[in-house]
């Protein structure tokens, strides 16, 4: 099949692709940060809600955690043929800061990167985090 591509991995090596649908369920569950003293995301719940793949995050706070609520996420597979979800991306926009979540799973661990952009003129640097989670 002749399809557009911008790198070799984009190309279809056979005629039966995954149909463009990725099953996120292998990632479902509650994921806990391996660092109990994190100042970032403490835990995440990945699930399906009314047919939509959602992430629900809770972040470090005092005295209570910050409940970020649910947002829709996009599941990614390991290649163009696979239908099995092993990574995701999602966006939280809190108004004063936007956090882009980019995560993948490997060997039972979920690795989460966050890219955090302040929009409130507070002078804080936009910052990156990388944290590890287990179910």
Partner 1 sequence: MPLQISRTRDAIEGPRPVRPVDLALLAGTWVNFDAASTGVHHLEIEDRDGQLILRTWGTGAPEPQSWGEVVAEPFTDGVALHEAVAFRADYDFGFARVMLACYLNKRLLVVDAYTVFQDGSGRSPYFQRDHFYVP
Q: Which residues bind partner 1 (CB under 8 A)?
A: 1, 3-10, 12, 17-22, 39-41, 59-62, 66, 68, 74-83, 86-87, 89, 92, 94-97, 99-100, 102, 104, 113, 115-118, 120, 122-130
How far apart CA 83 and CA 69 sit, in angstroms, is: 27
Three-state DSSP class for residue 109: strand
Closer Cβ to partner 1, 30 or 129, answer by number: 129
Residues 6+ apart with CB under 8 A from 15: 1
Distance in angstroms (rounded) separating the CA atoms of residues 112 and 103: 4
Run of H or E including 31: strand 29-33
Complex with partner 1: residue 3 or 50, whichever CB lies closer: 3
Provide, rounded to whole angstroms, the least separation between the CB of residue 135 and partner 1. Answer: 19
Minimum distance of partner 1 from residue 127's CB (angstroms): 5
Helix (H, G, I), strand (E, B) or coil at 96: coil
Q: To the nearest whole angstrom, how small is the minimum distance from the Cβ of residue 13 to partner 1?
A: 10
CB of residue 90 to partner 1, shortest distance in Å: 11
């Amino acid at each position: 099949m002749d399809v557009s591509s911008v790198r070799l991995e984009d190309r279809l090596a056979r005629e039966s692709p995954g149909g463009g649908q990725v099953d996120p369920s292998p990632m479902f569950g509650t994921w806990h940060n391996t660092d109990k003293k994190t100042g970032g995301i403490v835990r995440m719940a990945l699930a399906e809600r009314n047919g939509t793949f959602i992430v629900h995050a809770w972040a470090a706070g005092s005295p209570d955690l910050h409940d970020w609520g649910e947002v829709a996420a996009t599941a990614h597979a390991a290649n163009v043929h696979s239908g099995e979800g092993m990574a995701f991306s999602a966006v939280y926009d809190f108004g004063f800061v936007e956090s882009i979540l980019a995560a993948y799973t490997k060997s039972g661990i979920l690795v989460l990167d966050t890219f955090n952009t302040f929009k409130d003129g507070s002078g804080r640097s936009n910052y990156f985090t990388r944290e590890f989670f287990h179910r």
